[in-house]
Amino acid sequence: MQTDKVNLKEEVVLNPSDILWKLLMQWRMILVFALLGAILVSGLSYMKSVSNYKKALQNYSTKEEVKTSYTAEEIAKLQNKLEGQESGQCQKGGLRPAKDLADQKYLDTSFL
């Protein structure tokens, strides 16, 4: 009876390298759980992207449709606006042919 009590009081020494070695000996289980985790995470990512795609598709289909045909009056108004913008750019200095031609002589010596 007294010998049983003595055996319970013995110290157990745990070496970290022994614990690591025992874990590495279970490499098959570690590999299986890593693969299961990777499959689970990729499946969840796929499901999330599919749901986002469906929501975006739903939002796109509910938007107003783009107008593809115009009447003759609308075409004339658009052409007038475009002509007005083009002439405005020339007047504002957007197109300066004389200045651009003068600058071309320095093009060969430019570092840019």
Q: What is the dihedral of CA 77, 81, 86, 89, to 10 degrees?
A: 170
In a domain, 101, yes or no: no
Per-residue pLDDT of the chain (112 residues; tens, 9 = 90+): 555 555 566 778 888 898 888 888 888 999 999 999 999 999 999 999 999 999 888 877 665 566 677 888 888 888 888 887 655 555 555 555 555 555 566 666 655 5
In a domain, 59, yes or no: no
Least Cα distance to 57 among 49, 45, 68 occurs for 49
pTM: 0.38
Number of domains, the chain: 1
In a domain, 22, yes or no: yes
In a domain, 31, yes or no: yes
In a domain, 30, yes or no: yes
In a domain, 106, yes or no: no
In a domain, 71, yes or no: no
- Domain region containing 40: 15-48
DSSP H or E run through 3: helix 2-8
